[in-house]
């Protein structure tokens, strides 16, 4: 059973999307083709039962089998094999992404519900990861200027009991154990339990950590047409914060990352630490009113307690011997609760010869956040920065923490209404048209600003209408061409609501406009190609200096235009392929950075993954990723060089229920810098390493 299930899924990485297995499933009068339909039943991002070939935007779907076989450990691993996206360092304590030249720490969703706290998201309980490019306000509300990432978790199955387990160990000594078990409770209910524990280690001196999580989900049929799903997840993460290496001046132009110090930890092994405790509870009700009308209501409550503190390199001077390192640091805490209620109604009907798929929905959200920051104070100079001689390990001077440098509480509430109609004018011509109205109310209490003349309260209310329009032409059932226009907005408080001040509360939301044309071609039942050409315009925005949060710089705007190509599926019965390429041209419009390249936007990115089934038991895989050089920030003063990394894997089925898997990363031992946070915090890539995994189905 194990082997047949895995082989079926592996051969079905089709549709240009790395999609799920392609097989028909009949459920009453609704036929769904997994991988081709982003259906309501799958809790997927587009909210309607729409064939992917009819979705007028560029998107990628990474299924569980691809996550397992390529040895992905985090979202950053996935993005390196996805065109148009790259990772940002996230200061060593959070997921951060760059989509089409726009950076975000908040455009993440869990089963279509916003998940915007800053942390590293695990992959242990996922059915698939959906990446939608372009502005997506109609479906997701604020943010998502370049796109969004939606994680879809595993659902209980009413078909069978099973238990899957895996254990892995890599050459650095890191290990992970996962479990996935499903119990059928009679004919109408089932429980699925996913859990994992992970001990972290890598090539960097002093890096270590422990992470674990548990996720029980109950699904029960309340009647012939009503289903309830109750979801709970607990996540605990405790790890060292690693902000990489600084940059150094060069004789040929921009500064470059410090080479030859890949193992040196520019911080304190004892003081660089982040902890997270997160609880998420969700209740979802699905009801089928008729074969043509379905609806759902979801309520999700989440509680996050996050803290991190770190020392990092603020400057580096190698003009003297020994070299000098200037250290800076701080401690930051965030407590946040989220309540989101979302309802969708989807109807399919005809008006004469014209078909409609109508989506009407609404969302209410309430979010409370308390965030504070304390600067380091070094005893030797009573300052938050100090310069010391380079050594390995660093000789860290004694320090304590100041009074709170930032102490803010924010309350955010939003109400949204949206409507969208997918109109089938003929078999060949389709239109998608819709709009979303958002009322976004943010209130911030800045406790440090409170005085006799200032109550410390800042606030702003925005009401924005975000349209979406798409035109699809299908000259054949397996071929579509589309053109689309979409908008989104981001309030002036920023994606984490920490920047609202007496200055920024008067600034209107920044607006994103995405124009796109593309094509989707199912070459055959097992191989698909997609292409997109886009232009994304971002309006005026403010950016916080990552090295000094007290400094806020206004950037006039930016424009990113580019091309994204994907080919995925099976070339033969034994050979499957997943390939992607993107060309991005990001440019700052106006202001002091006019004409500069947008931050962390490689011009060229390419990836290729080949899998060949040698025989019934053995399969081999070979992959490569290329990332072009990029500037770390809008000032274009530090250029991170390009790199190519080769990965490989081998899979051997010991039996129908047991698989042995070997993943080798960086096969040619390339020295590279995969991502960065600021001009002085640049990550170093892992050298040649391997991970051995055993999987078993009981």
Rounded mean pLDDT, 72-80: 90
* Cβ–Cβ under 8 Å, residues 158 and 184: yes
Q: Give the span between the Cα atoms of 261 and 671, in whole angstroms.
A: 11
Q: Give the span between the Cα atoms of 458 and 330, in whole angstroms.
A: 25
Q: Which residues contact 255 (CB under 8 A, 6 or more apart)?
A: 247, 248, 249, 637, 638, 639, 679
Q: What's residue 540's pLDDT?
A: 81
Classified as helix, coil or strand, 671 is coil
pLDDT tens digits for range 608-622: 999 999 999 999 999
* Cβ–Cβ under 8 Å, residues 557 and 537: yes
Length of the chain counted residue by residue: 698
Q: What's residue 610's pLDDT?
A: 96
* 27: pLDDT strictly greater than 80: no
Q: Which value, in Å, is the radius of gyration of the alpha carbons in the chain?
A: 25
pLDDT tens digits for range 220-264: 999 999 999 999 999 999 999 999 999 999 988 899 999 999 989
Residue 44 — pLDDT band, cuts 50, 70, 90?
A: low
Classified as helix, coil or strand, 7 is helix
Q: What's residue 567's pLDDT?
A: 95
**Percentage of residues in the chain with pLDDT exceeding 70?**
90
Q: Buried (b) or exposed (e) across 152-163, using 16+ Cβ within 10 A?
A: bbbbbebeeebe
pLDDT tens digits for range 632-654: 999 999 999 999 999 999 999 99
Q: What's residue 664's pLDDT?
A: 98
Residue 559 — pLDDT band, cuts 50, 70, 90?
A: very high
Where do the domains of the chain lie?
Answer: 2-697
Rounded mean pLDDT, 473-492: 93
CA 83 to chain centre: 13
The rounded mean pLDDT for the chain is 89
Rounded mean pLDDT, 419-440: 95
* 454: pLDDT strictly greater than 60: yes
Question: For 2-697, CATH number?
Answer: 2.40.170.20
Least confidently predicted of 176-185, 375-384, 498-507, 594-603: 498-507
Q: Buried (b) or exposed (e) across 382-412, using 16+ Cβ within 10 A?
A: eebebebebeeebebeebebeeebbbbbbeb
Q: What's residue 16's pLDDT?
A: 33
pLDDT tens digits for range 354-395: 999 999 999 999 999 999 999 999 999 999 999 999 999 999
Q: Which residues contact 363 (CB under 8 A, 6 or more apart)?
A: 141, 340, 341, 342, 343, 414, 415, 416, 418
Q: What's residue 327's pLDDT?
A: 96
Tokens matching residue 528: 């698909």
User: What's the pTM value of the predicted model, to 2 decimals?
Assistant: 0.91
**Percentage of residues in the chain with pLDDT exceeding 90?**
75
Q: What's residue 502's pLDDT?
A: 61
Give the DSSP H or E segment for 139: helix 137-140
């Amino acid at each position: 059973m194990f082997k047949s299930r895995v082989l079926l899924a592996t051969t079905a990485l089709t549709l240009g999307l790395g999609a799920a297995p392609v097989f028909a499933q009949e459920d009453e009068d609704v036929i769904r083709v997994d991988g081709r339909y982003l259906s309501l039943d799958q809790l997927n991002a587009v909210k309607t039962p729409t064939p992917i070939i009819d979705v007028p935007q560029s998107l990628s779907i990474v299924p569980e089998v691809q996550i397992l076989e390529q040895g992905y450990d985090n979202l950053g691993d996935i993005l390196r094999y996805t065109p148009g996206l790259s990772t940002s360092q996230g200061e060593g304590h959070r997921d951060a992404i760059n989509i089409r030249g726009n950076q975000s720490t908040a455009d993440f969703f869990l089963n279509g519900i916003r998940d915007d706290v800053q942390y590293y998201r695990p992959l242990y309980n996922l059915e698939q990861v959906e990446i939608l490019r372009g502005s997506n306000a109609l479906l997701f509300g604020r943010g998502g200027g370049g796109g969004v990432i939606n994680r879809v978790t595993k659902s209980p199955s009413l078909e069978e009991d099973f238990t899957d387990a895996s254990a892995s160990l890599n050459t650095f000594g890191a290990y992970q154990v996962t479990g996935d078990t499903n119990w059928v409770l009679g004919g109408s209910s089932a429980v699925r339990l996913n859990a994992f524990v992970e001990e972290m280690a890598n090539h960097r001196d002093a890096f270590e950590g422990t992470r674990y999580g548990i996720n029980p989900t109950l699904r029960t049929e309340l009647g012939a047409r009503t289903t309830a799903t109750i979801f709970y997840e607990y996540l605990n993460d405790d790890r060292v914060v690693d902000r990489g290496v600084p940059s150094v001046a060069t004789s040929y132009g921009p500064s470059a990352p410090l080479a030859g110090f890949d193992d040196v930890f520019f911080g304190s092994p004892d003081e660089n630490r982040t902890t997270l405790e997160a609880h998420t509870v969700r209740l979802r009700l699905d009801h089928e009113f008729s074969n043509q009308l379905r609806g759902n209501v979801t309520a999700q409550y989440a509680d996050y307690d996050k803290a991190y503190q770190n020392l990092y390199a603020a400057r580096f001077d190698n003009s003297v011997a020994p070299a000098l390192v200037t250290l800076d640091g701080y401690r930051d805490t965030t407590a946040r609760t989220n309540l989101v209620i979302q309802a969708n109604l989807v109807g399919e009907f005809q008006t004469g010869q014209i078909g409609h798929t109508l989506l009407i929905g609404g969302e209410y959200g309430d979010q409370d956040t308390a965030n504070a920051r304390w600067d380091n104070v070094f005893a030797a100079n009573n300052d938050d920065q100090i310069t010391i001689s380079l050594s390995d390990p660093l000789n860290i001077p004694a320090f304590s923490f100041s009074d709170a440098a930032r102490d803010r509480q924010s309350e955010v509430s939003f109400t949204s209404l949206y409507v969208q109609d997918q109109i089938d004018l003929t078999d060949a011509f389709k239109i998608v048209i819709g709009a979303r109205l958002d009322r976004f109310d943010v209130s911030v209490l800045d406790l440090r600003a409170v005085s006799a003349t200032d109550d410390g309260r800042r606030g702003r209310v925005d009401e924005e209408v975000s349209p979406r329009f798409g035109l699809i032409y299908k000259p054949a059932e397996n071929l579509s061409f589309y053109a689309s226009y979409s908008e989104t907005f981001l309030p002036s408080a920023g994606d984490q609501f920490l920047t609202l001040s007496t200055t920024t509360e008067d600034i209107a939301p920044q607006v994103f406009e995405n124009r796109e044309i593309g094509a989707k071609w199912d070459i055959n039942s097992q191989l698909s190609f997609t292409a997109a050409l886009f232009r994304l315009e971002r309006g005026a925005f403010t950016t916080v200096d990552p090295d000094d949060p007290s400094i806020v710089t206004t950037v006039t705007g930016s424009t990113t235009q580019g091309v994204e190509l994907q080919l995925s599926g099976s070339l033969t019965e034994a050979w499957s392929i997943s390939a992607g390429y993107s060309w991005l041209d990001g440019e700052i419009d106006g202001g002091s950075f006019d004409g500069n390249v947008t931050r962390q936007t490689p011009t060229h990115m390419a990836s290729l993954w080949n899998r060949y089934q040698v025989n019934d038991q053995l399969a081999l895989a070979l992959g490569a990723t290329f990332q072009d050089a990029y500037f770390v920030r809008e000032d274009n003063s530090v250029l991170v060089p390009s790199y190519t990394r080769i990965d490989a894997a081998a899979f051997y089925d010991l039996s129908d229920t047991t698989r042995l898997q070997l993943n080798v990363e960086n096969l040619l031992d390339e020295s590279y810098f995969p991502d960065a946070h600021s001009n002085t915090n640049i990550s170093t890539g892992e050298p040649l390493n391997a991970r051995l995994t055993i999987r078993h189905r009981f």
